[in-house]
Amino acid sequence: YIEALLGNAEVVAVALIVGGFAILAVERFAPRSDISGVADIPLKTVIGIGFLQCLAMVPGVSRSGATILGALALGVERRTAAEFSFFLAIPTMLGASALELLKNRDAIASGGGVGLGAIAIGAAVSFIVALLVVKWFVGIVTKHGFVPFALYRVVAGSAALIWLLSK
């Protein structure tokens, strides 16, 4: 039942809309912070942000969005919240990659499919692209805040919901 509910496209559309309004609310009402460096985030705040990452188990809720919003709501400055969210992604991504390698170890070992060299090149290219995107994203957030992303989520979620309900 839960898998069917969470895999539902309407749930994704509603999560996009709710997430957009949550971003707007946090941008408006979150406490202003003196936490302006990743190393300055207190342990209890780090743990709280980590728990908020679990919201991303709901389809339509992004992991980075949940952690950034959580950080802002817990008093972390915008740029630091974005940077910390991306640092927090590293163990998540490494764990997911390790799990995929483990699940596909027989195919990799037998030479079927993609080899380890291609996987290593793909990982390196992905890492470089991620660094560039993070730099771009942090620049936007520093200059404009999260409002553009909130508006995108509300518009995209509303359009998806209208389309899904009109079928």
* Dihedral of alpha carbons 93, 95, 97, 100, sign: negative
- pTM for the model: 0.76
> From first to last of its 167 residues, what are the pLDDT tens digits of the chain?
666 767 789 999 999 999 999 999 998 988 887 788 999 999 999 999 999 999 988 888 989 899 999 999 999 988 899 889 988 888 888 898 889 888 888 877 777 667 778 888 988 998 899 889 988 988 888 888 889 999 999 999 999 999 999 98
Using alpha carbons, list the distances in angstroms from residue 162 to 14, 18, 53.
Answer: 11, 15, 28
Domain boundaries, the chain: 2-166
Q: How far apart, in whole angstroms, are the C-alpha atoms of residue 31 and residue 29? A: 6
Residue whose structure tokens are 């749930």: 11
